[in-house]
């Protein structure tokens, strides 16, 4: 009769080695399957609001396409004597230079809006740097202004964007309060969303692309109600003078 001896130490080493390989394979698989555009929410270099006790907030508008909504929005701001910050797309400024110039001529602040950042390329620093140069050039050609403020209009920012945000003469401005006007929920709902979320130092996101068709109707009430709450509305640059910039 044969007698078999089991080397316990050797078997444990085999089991441990196999387990280690399994863990490494699992980690690599997860890394490969992770979407390339996953936001890295560390906030480095990205400004969403300002720390202040004063009742002051910034109205900001994104414009990426269309020419029907920007004019009525500007009409309201002029009537109410409010200066805001507009983040406009480079292509939009080339297609509508007269509206882009009107924004500047009426005393509003111009920022650049980065569009279409999605997929694996969105993590590459060069994508953002190239867009920064192109957007800035297009806006300067249309308005004579070379913007220092930039925004990802979809709201997602990752490591690549944060690296580009450290470029000289560039500040990335997102927001702390989204009006959700782009969803056209009704002008009363737009007003209520802002009033419920407003805080000292808020950067408020509104839209002036043609998709946001209810924004001109909601804007007078937004301004009136915020003033009634004691808020002063300023540009982003003016807000940044009041206190430390915060990521969220």
Indicate if the pLDDT at residue 182 is higher than 70: yes
Residue 9: pLDDT band (50, 70, 90) is low
Of 155-164, 212-221, 232-241, least confident by mean pLDDT is 155-164
Question: Please, what's the largest Cα pairwise distance for the chain?
Answer: 104
Q: Which residue has the higher pLDDT, 129 or 181?
A: 181
Let me know if 79 is exposed, middle or buried by CB neighbors in 10 A (0-12, 13-18, 19+).
exposed
* 46-246 CATH fold: TIM Barrel (3.20.20)
Mean of all residue pLDDT scores within the chain: 81
Q: What is the pLDDT of residues 191-234, one digit of tens each?
A: 999 999 999 999 999 999 999 999 999 999 999 999 999 999 99
Q: Where are the domains of the chain?
A: 46-246
Q: How far apart are the first and last CA of the chain?
A: 75
Q: For 39-53, 61-75, 229-243, which range has the lowest pLDDT when averaged over its residues?
A: 39-53
Single pTM value for the model = 0.79
- The better pLDDT of the pair 10, 214 is held by 214
For a pLDDT cut of 90, what percent of the chain falls above it? 62
| CB-side neighbour CA atoms (13 Å) of 122 | 18
Radius of gyration of the chain (CA): 25
Residue 16, pLDDT > 90, answer: no
Residue 4 has pLDDT above 90, yes or no: no
- Weakest mean pLDDT among 55-69, 96-110, 148-162, 217-231: 148-162
């Amino acid at each position: 009769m044969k007698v078999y001896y089991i080397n316990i130490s050797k078997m444990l080493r085999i089991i441990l080695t196999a387990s280690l390989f399994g863990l490494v394979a699992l980690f690599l698989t997860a890394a490969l399957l992770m979407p390339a555009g996953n936001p890295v929410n560390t906030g480095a270099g990205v400004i969403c609001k300002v720390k202040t006790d004063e009742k002051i907030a910034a109205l900001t508008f994104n414009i990426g396409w269309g020419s029907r909504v920007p004019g009525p929005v500007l009409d309201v701001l002029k009537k109410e004597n409010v200066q805001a910050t507009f983040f406009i797309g480079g292509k939009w400024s080339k297609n509508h230079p007269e509206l882009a110039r009107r924004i500047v001529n009426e005393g509003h602040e111009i920022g650049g809006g980065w569009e279409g950042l999605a997929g694996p390329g969105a993590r590459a620093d060069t994508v953002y740097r190239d867009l920064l140069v192109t957007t800035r050039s297009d806006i300067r050609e249309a308005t004579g202004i070379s913007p220092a403020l930039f925004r990802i209009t979809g709201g997602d920012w990752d490591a690549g964007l944060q690296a580009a945000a450290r470029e000289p003469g560039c500040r990335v401005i997102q927001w702390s309060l989204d009006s959700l006007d782009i969803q056209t929920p009704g002008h009363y709902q737009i007003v209520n969303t802002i009033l419920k979320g407003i805080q000292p130092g808020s950067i408020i996101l509104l839209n002036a692309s043609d998709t946001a068709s209810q924004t001109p109707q909601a804007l007078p009430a937004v301004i009136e109600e915020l003033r009634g709450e004691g808020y002063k509305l300023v540009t982003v640059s003016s807000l940044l003078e009041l206190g430390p910039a915060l990521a969220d």
